[in-house]
A and B are shown apart, each in its own frame.
Chain A
Amino acid sequence: MSARNRELLGLIPASLLVTAGFAAVFIERGSLSQNELSDLSLTYGLIFLGLCLGAHIFLRIALPYADPYLFPLVAVLACFGLVMIYRIDDTLARQQAQWFVVGLLLFAATIVFLRDYRKLEQYRYVIAAASLALLCLPRLPVIGAQVNGAYLGIRIPGVMVFQPTEFAKLGIVIFLASYLRDTRQVLVVGARRVLGVTLPPLKHFAPLLLVWGMAMLLLIVIRDLGSSLMFFGAFLALLYVATNRFSFVFIGLLLFGIGAWYLGTHVSHVTDRVDVWLDPLNPARYGNEGYQIANSLFAQADGGLLGRGFGGALLETPNGFPLLPARETDLIYALIVNELGLVGAAALLIVYLMFVERGFKTALLARDSFSTLLAVGLAAVFALQVFVIVGGVTNVIPLTGVTLPFVSYGGSSILANFVLLALLLLVSDKARRPA
């Protein structure tokens, strides 16, 4: 069976999921009669299936050899997210569906205009500079938006709060992939062993220190531990794959650890997060900075093994106060555990892992270093983003605000991750194209 036919089959579970999901939400609400129920949920399912089919036909023409599983996995994630958001708020779900359409258009545009994605290498410094500028934008007055002490958004009145980290992560991965393609040989050849640790040559080590400095700066500028962990983690992943030297990763982790420790003990906003992380159920903090994580844990406990079912979780107090804050964005994973239980959440994580696996598979198949590093970087940053937010929500690490890719509500996240998907498919198509 050809790759594209497998992709088409892969879309069936996604459309079944969206139809069943909407039906479940309607039943839980109990407000619709049987006829409306089947009609409406089928309509949603059909529209979604139509969009996916459109994208599929486009891929058939544009990238016939690309990996057949990447797009269906994204479709599963996106439709799952759509049902979850619909269950929270109809209006949000409609907006999310609109972003989904815009995202698909951007996806197509990326594929059309970046057919030769290796052109990106020529612009690597421009891309790096633009990404850093993007990250600093939220600190500017008027347009900057501070959320829970972190500077993560730019207000575009009437449209959205734009989240530059989502796009900056792509820019930084592109830059690193291109930079390391050039220097990986030098880094390895020039390495020396000092006290049993392999150190990279000083001349080439400086740029890496610069990247470390940037990550730390980011931490100070945007005050967000999670985003910097995501960026720096992607950097280390690429460095490791490019040089196959674990000691580099070790040094990097050590440096990051020192920086994070310093900030965690000296910057009050970060200190608060760390305190809450260490003792999430402290009653003294429950009223303010501890409310999010405590309720995230309570919601998960309420879900248990099988969960309360779509629409079964309690979202608000009887007087309309949100019981689970940021439930459509940062804390959506807690709501998923609440409603679908450990089983549903584990299934979701497996879908993410399958996507990451296809990304790495693409990297293995790629025929040039830049393509390999680009695919590794994109898959790693995607995986790390999932780890940072789910880890935060489950208190593995301090909770910080990044979105759950394709599932959380939010335009920037959807758009950026569709570009990520487009880049992976471009690399994959080139790699799998018969010579």
Chain B
Amino acid sequence: MSVPIIRLFLAIVVLFALLVAWTSRWTIFQADDLRANTLDKRPLFAALRVKRGAITTEGGEVLARSVRTRNGDYERDYPTDSLFGHPVGYAKLLTGELSGLERSRNDELSGTTSELNSVLDQLQGKRRAGNTVVTTLDPQAQQVATDALDGQKGAVFAFDPRDGAVKVMVSSPGYDPNMVNGEGGLSELNKDAANAPLLDRVTQGAYPPGSTFKVVTAAAALDSGKFTPDSTFDGRSGRVVSGVPLRNDGGQDFDNPSLTTSLTYSVNTAFAQMGEQLGKRTMADYMDRFGFYRLPPLDYPDEQMIKSGERRNGRLVPVTSPSVDVGRMAIGQDRLLVTPIQMAMVAGAVANGGKLMEPHLTDKVVDPDGRTVKTIEPKQFSQPISEQTASELTQMMGRVVEEGTGSEVQLPGIDVAGKTGTAEIDVANDIAQPWFIAFAPASDPQIAIAVTVERTVGGFGGTVAAPIARDVLASLLQR
């Protein structure tokens, strides 16, 4: 009977080899898929045991930190309450719901490093700890912007056009991220449809840009070489655009205004002609260069950003679509919907000599031993316009603030270049969307900013949004 016994043993060896093979399948070959499976809550619970890194300002002020609870797990605490609710976000680790920097920098904050490193650390018996993320945000200006919005629904976004460092990112109404970890806190915030406090209006708010978009039209007009600052247009109110008469603000007629004059006084009919003469292709080209139809290049979760552009029933349609009225789009009407960050990027590109830098919230990442492990270097997103076009536009936008619609933003000793906008939302009830985009100092730009306030009754960009921009610029530039 010895031959069948040996064969039987070999069969059992084969069965056991099968067991090792299948164990290898789950531990090695398909392990990454399994670890990424969202049904598995192990990574979430493991995250509770790791001291997640803090989020601080460059000055060392703590915006988010981990505190140890009684059972040895860690809990997230936000000492500045609602002030940085949107840019910092929240981290509800128990369910894996994250937002803002907490989400986009989750790998650094949770200390997830390469497999090799973690094996080495494991062998050395090191406890995993997260890295600290230092943001570029300016707490003083953030406070000023929040106060200036004064509870109105709206957004303020300011960044340094030279390197892309974001200084202010305020969406109002805000929310307190400390609430999220409480029982039912997140669903309560989600249910508040009237205020939508979790909506980041800077990156998710889709608003008609109104006349601020004339900066893009002017940029296309100058940079394409088809017009100069002195080119003149028919400035009469009531000129027919796409078969419908178009009014200037207050029904004012202008006598053959130049491009500069048209921007200074925001002459609708002149810009509509410009848009029609430039054509959809040229407009689409320049919009693309400024970042329209793309997600903003911010170090922020993609899920919390939307693309700017013409929209029909919530969906993006290309500028070249037959349904687009390019004349009205050129003055920021038609069905153009943009985010405040997109308009700040337009201002930023003009400010930085035509070079658009990627805005970023993160300055650097520091490991638990205090070593800087990553520094965010300035990165150019695109060059939408030439340096000459940028300088011509800067002069023209300077006039807007000196003598035009943006005179409210004048600051003693600082020359501001800007453009107002008041997008009509409900003409019958006099409801509009006031805007202001600007950069300062015009001679040596350090800050580019966009401000908008939702659905204001009887307000204008120059009277509602410009003063907010002025306060924030003053806070950032007059120290």
Interface on A for B, CB 8 Å cutoff? 237, 240-242, 244, 281, 283, 286, 294-295, 297-306, 308-309, 314, 317-318, 323, 337, 341-342, 345-346, 349, 352-353, 356-357, 360, 363-364, 369, 372-373, 376, 380, 383, 386-387, 390-391, 394-396
Given A241-B8, A305-B27, A318-B71, 19 further pairs, Cβ under 8 A:
A244-B4, A283-B39, A295-B40, A298-B34, A298-B39, A300-B27, A300-B34, A302-B42, A304-B28, A304-B31, A318-B73, A353-B12, A356-B12, A357-B9, A360-B8, A383-B16, A387-B15, A394-B22, A394-B25
Q: Can you list 26 pairs linking A and B with CB atoms under 8 Å apart?
A: A240-B4, A240-B7, A241-B8, A281-B37, A298-B39, A298-B40, A298-B42, A300-B34, A303-B27, A305-B27, A306-B119, A306-B122, A314-B45, A342-B28, A345-B20, A345-B23, A346-B23, A356-B9, A363-B5, A364-B2, A369-B1, A373-B1, A376-B8, A380-B12, A390-B19, A395-B22
Chain B residues 20 to 66 lying within 8 A of chain A, measured CB to CB, are 20, 22-28, 30-31, 34-35, 37, 39-42, 45-46, 48
B13 lies within 8 A of chain A by Cβ: yes
Least distance between B119 CB and chain A CB atoms (Å): 7
Residues B45 and A349 in contact, CB atoms below 8 Å apart: no
Other-chain residue from B1, B2, B41, B71 in contact with A242 (beta carbon distance below 8 A)? B1
B18 lies within 8 A of chain A by Cβ: yes
Least distance between B304 CB and chain A CB atoms (Å): 25
Q: Check A337/B5 contact, CB under 8 A, given A286-B39, A353-B13, A396-B22.
A: no
Residues A240 and B8 in contact, CB atoms below 8 Å apart: yes
Least distance between B40 CB and chain A CB atoms (Å): 4
Other-chain residue from B5, B34, B41 in contact with A360 (beta carbon distance below 8 A)? B5
* A288–B125 CA distance with the chains assembled, in angstroms: 37
- By beta carbon, the residue of chain A nearest B13 is A353
Q: Which 3 A-B pairs have the closest CB atoms?
A: A301-B34, A394-B22, A300-B26
* A360–B4 CA distance with the chains assembled, in angstroms: 11
B373 lies within 8 A of chain A by Cβ: no
* A369–B2 CA distance with the chains assembled, in angstroms: 11
Question: What is the count of residue pairs linking A and B with beta-carbon distances less than 8 angstroms?
Answer: 130
B3 lies within 8 A of chain A by Cβ: yes
Residues A281 and B39 in contact, CB atoms below 8 Å apart: yes
B94 lies within 8 A of chain A by Cβ: yes
Chain A neighbourhood of B22, CB < 8 A? 391, 394-396
- Among B12, B26, B27, B37, the most chain A Cβ lie within 10 Å of the Cβ of B27
Residues B1 and A241 in contact, CB atoms below 8 Å apart: yes
Residues B8 and A342 in contact, CB atoms below 8 Å apart: no
Interface size on B, residues (CB 8 A): 40
* A121–B315 CA distance with the chains assembled, in angstroms: 83
Chain B neighbourhood of A317, CB < 8 A? 41, 45
Other-chain residue from A294, A301, A395 in contact with B27 (beta carbon distance below 8 A)? A301
- Among A298, A369, A380, the most chain B Cβ lie within 10 Å of the Cβ of A298
Other-chain residue from A242, A286, A299, A323 in contact with B45 (beta carbon distance below 8 A)? A323
Chain A neighbourhood of B19, CB < 8 A? 349, 386-387, 390-391, 394, 396
Interface on B for A, CB 8 Å cutoff? 1-9, 12-13, 15-16, 18-20, 22-28, 30-31, 34-35, 37, 39-42, 45-46, 48, 71, 73, 94, 119, 122
Other-chain residue from A301, A337, A342, A369 in contact with B35 (beta carbon distance below 8 A)? A301
Residues B35 and A302 in contact, CB atoms below 8 Å apart: yes
Chain B neighbourhood of A306, CB < 8 A? 119, 122
Least distance between B158 CB and chain A CB atoms (Å): 40
- By beta carbon, the residue of chain B nearest A316 is B45
- Among B2, B18, B26, B94, the most chain A Cβ lie within 10 Å of the Cβ of B26
* A283–B40 CA distance with the chains assembled, in angstroms: 11
Chain A neighbourhood of B15, CB < 8 A? 383, 387, 391
Residues A364 and B5 in contact, CB atoms below 8 Å apart: yes
Residues A244 and B9 in contact, CB atoms below 8 Å apart: no
Q: Check A304/B27 contact, CB under 8 A, given A349-B16, A380-B12, A383-B15.
A: yes
Least distance between A245 CB and chain B CB atoms (Å): 9
- By beta carbon, the residue of chain B nearest A372 is B1
Other-chain residue from A298, A308, A341, A369 in contact with B37 (beta carbon distance below 8 A)? A298
Other-chain residue from B5, B16, B23, B73 in contact with A300 (beta carbon distance below 8 A)? B23
- By beta carbon, the residue of chain B nearest A303 is B27
* A286–B34 CA distance with the chains assembled, in angstroms: 14
Chain A neighbourhood of B48, CB < 8 A? 318
Chain B neighbourhood of A376, CB < 8 A? 5, 8
Least distance between A300 CB and chain B CB atoms (Å): 4
- By beta carbon, the residue of chain A nearest B49 is A314
* A281–B122 CA distance with the chains assembled, in angstroms: 29
Least distance between B68 CB and chain A CB atoms (Å): 14
Q: Check A244/B1 contact, CB under 8 A, given A297-B34, A353-B16, A391-B19.
A: yes
Chain B neighbourhood of A300, CB < 8 A? 23, 26-27, 31, 34
- Among B8, B25, B73, the most chain A Cβ lie within 10 Å of the Cβ of B8
Chain B neighbourhood of A387, CB < 8 A? 12, 15-16, 19
Least distance between B202 CB and chain A CB atoms (Å): 34
Residues A314 and B39 in contact, CB atoms below 8 Å apart: no
Q: Check A346/B20 contact, CB under 8 A, given A300-B27, A301-B26, A302-B35.
A: yes
* A364–B5 CA distance with the chains assembled, in angstroms: 8
Least distance between B239 CB and chain A CB atoms (Å): 60
Least distance between A301 CB and chain B CB atoms (Å): 4
